[in-house]
Amino acid sequence: MIGTVTDGTAVPIIQNRVEDAGFKDIDIIPLGADKVFVHSLSGANVAEVVKEARPFFDLIFSSVVRWTKDVMPFQRGAWIRLYGIPIHAWNESFFKLCVLDCGRYLRTDNCSLNRERFDYARVLIATTSIEVVNVSEKLIIDGELVSIKITEEWGFNFGDDVCLYDEEENSATSSQGHVEIPDEFDSDNNVVLAVDKIVNDLV
């Protein structure tokens, strides 16, 4: 079965939700962006499993269809930032309009939706491009021509699919670059201890 994940939620999160619901036999394999292959590790009929627990799977997948031999075009998930959006145009509908030429809109992050910042909006898209998204779009807002800078977030390897990663794990990983230094290793304390030792030795 081919499932389309609701709102482009990361695959590891989907797998955890399925297992937590008691479906230990169901395996979720990424196909790219918001598409996943759903199959049974024991060879059970996945269509029947999904049908019997339809209310649960409807919370996770916007659609579930049988797999066919038709070749699916490759897509990957990418977080992009939209710079230069006027405050009076700050809404999800406008974000969707901005990314039309970049890929398929999946969702906007909560920080942007809640208007916690206005320097850039953060949007998840599905794109067929392997190259980093970095373009400008000119749009007319209330009769004025506005240039919107659209750039993909860094921090992933070339061509990575962000839908394969848990966003919280990534933010935790990126924060690991900052290491708290315990007081006993503070440089000022080391100098004081060294001076005290020298004074004691001279006495």
Q: Give the residue with greater pLDDT, 106 vs 201.
A: 106
Q: How confident is the model at residue 135 (pLDDT cuts 50, 70, 90)?
A: very high
Q: Parallel, antiparallel, or unpaired: how do β-strands 61-65 and 2-5 relate?
A: antiparallel
Mean pLDDT of 117-144: 91
Q: Output the pLDDT for position 65.
A: 86
Burial class (CB within 10 angstroms; exposed 0-12, middle 13-18, buried 19+) of 5: buried
How many other CB atoms are found less than 10 A from the CB of residue 86?
A: 13
Q: Parallel, antiparallel, or unpaired: how do β-strands 144-152 and 104-108 relate?
A: unpaired
Question: What residues have CB less than 8 Å from 132, skipping those under 6 apart?
Answer: 151, 152, 154, 158
Average pLDDT, the chain: 80
| Cα atoms in the 13 Å half-sphere on the side-chain side of 56 | 13
Q: Output the pLDDT for position 71.
A: 59
pTM summary value: 0.67
pLDDT in tens, 18-70: 999 999 999 998 888 888 999 899 888 999 999 999 999 999 998 888 887 77
